[in-house]
Structures are given as structure tokens and as C-alpha cells.
């Protein structure tokens, strides 16, 4: 049985320092994705996360039991956040926030395997967001990123540091604000939560 740690293989994108902002060029990768609207932690948001993890873990065990016999760890949850009126982020109108929750999938995973996994999950569980799961390729391109340590509610200064770094490079913000959730918030204390903050930009 071969073991693969994609967090290590792709450490440039899944490991960051809180001490500095760095530039990364994120290539196209495949994701399981659910798109929605509303504040973090809302019912629809939680349903999306449950559906994503259910399909992701089903795929993991499918590959492990297949002829490939590869055992890999399920990747961290990631989220893109935006709003039609970006002032909604400043004023805290969270009901207007839009999001895509996603989990990166190894190159081993095909669309056909995803469809099989979703059928398997549908038999075992009644998940409201299961039919919203999509399999897509996303290329974020050139981004600035850093690590935020602490609760999500205190991300503001960290996000500002990333934006200032982009401005110092003569760049302009482009694309959607991205967060990579490295901690299990069910177990870790909020002050210890680790989140990669990433922002695409153009030169």
C-alpha cells in the first residue's frame, strides 16, 4: 500500500508562515465544490461542508481499495468568499456573503469516480447539499498569502497585510478572497486556529 501526503507534496500551497506574506503561483487543481450564499456557520453552509467531506472520504476509500492501492489523506477544507457589493464585508452584512466551499482532489480522481462516490453516499446518507457537489478545475494563478492564527472574526488585520503586500508590489487585487482551513475547529481552541489567507492579484 503506497501512502501519499498531498499536503507535503503541495506544501507551497498548504503551508504558510504567520511572520511573512509570500507570493505563490497556484496551478490548476481539481476540487469538489459547493456554491452557496449566507453567513459562515449557517445551515446551508454546514450542509455544504458535510456533503463535501462525505464525498471526499468516500473517494479516499475507493482509491485505497482499488487496484491503485494508494492511501492518501483528505485535504483541508477551503473557501472562497465574495459579495456583489464588497461593502457587505466591511459592514458585516453576512447574509449577503457568497461562498464556494471546496476540497482539493488528487490527480487520481476522475469525474466518473466522483459520480460513483456521490451515488454511494446518496444510498447511505440523506444529505440536502449532496446534489450541489460539483467537480471543477480551478487555477488561482499569482497570489499573495500568509497564515492567520486565531478566530475567524479577527482575520481583518491579516487580510489587510496581504492587500498591502500586493500594493507594495504594484499589483491589483483580482479574483476572490481565499481561505484554507488547516485546523479542526471542533477540537482546537479558537486562539489556535490556523487559516491560510490568500488573495489573487494581477501585475
pLDDT digits (tens, 9 = 90+) for 18-57: 999 999 999 999 999 999 988 888 899 999 999 999 999 9
* DSSP result, 157-171: HHHHHHHHHHHHTT-
Q: Find, among 11, 124, 4, the residue nearest to 74 by Cα.
A: 4
Contact 140, 12 (CB under 8 A): no
Domains of the chain: 2-202 (3.20.80.10)
Q: Is the pLDDT of residue 90 over 60?
A: no
Question: Which residues is 104 bridged to in the sheet?
Answer: 31
Other C-beta atoms within 10 Å of 201: how many?
21
Task: List the grid coordinates of 76.
Answer: 483541508
Identify the H or E element spanning 173.
strand 172-173
Task: List the grid coordinates of 124.
Answer: 447511505
d(CA 94, CA 186): 22
pLDDT digits (tens, 9 = 90+) for 154-178: 888 898 999 999 999 999 998 889 9
Amino acid at each position: 500500500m503506497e501512502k501519499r501526503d498531498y499536503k507535503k507534496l503541495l506544501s507551497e500551497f498548504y503551508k504558510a508562515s504567520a511572520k511573512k506574506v509570500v507570493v505563490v503561483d497556484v496551478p490548476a487543481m481539481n476540487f469538489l465544490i459547493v456554491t452557496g450564499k449566507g453567513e459562515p456557520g449557517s445551515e446551508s453552509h454546514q450542509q455544504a461542508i458535510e456533503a463535501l467531506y462525505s464525498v471526499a472520504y468516500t473517494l479516499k476509500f475507493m482509491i485505497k481499495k482499488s487496484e491503485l492501492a494508494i492511501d492518501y489523506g483528505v485535504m483541508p477544507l477551503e473557501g472562497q468568499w465574495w459579495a456583489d457589493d464588497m461593502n457587505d464585508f466591511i459592514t458585516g452584512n453576512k447574509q449577503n456573503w457568497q461562498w464556494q466551499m471546496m476540497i482539493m482532489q488528487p490527480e487520481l480522481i476522475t469525474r466518473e469516480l466522483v459520480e460513483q462516490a456521490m451515488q454511494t453516499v446518496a444510498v447511505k446518507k440523506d444529505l440536502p447539499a449532496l446534489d450541489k457537489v460539483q467537480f471543477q478545475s480551478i487555477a488561482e494563478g499569482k497570489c499573495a498569502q500568509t497564515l492567520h492564527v486565531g478566530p475567524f472574526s479577527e482575520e481583518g488585520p491579516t487580510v489587510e497585510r496581504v492587500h498591502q503586500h500586493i500594493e507594495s508590489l504594484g499589483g491589483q487585487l483580482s479574483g476572490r478572497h481565499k481561505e484554507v482551513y488547516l485546523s479542526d475547529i471542533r477540537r482546537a481552541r479558537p486562539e489556535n486556529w490556523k487559516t491560510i489567507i490568500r488573495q489573487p492579484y494581477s501585475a
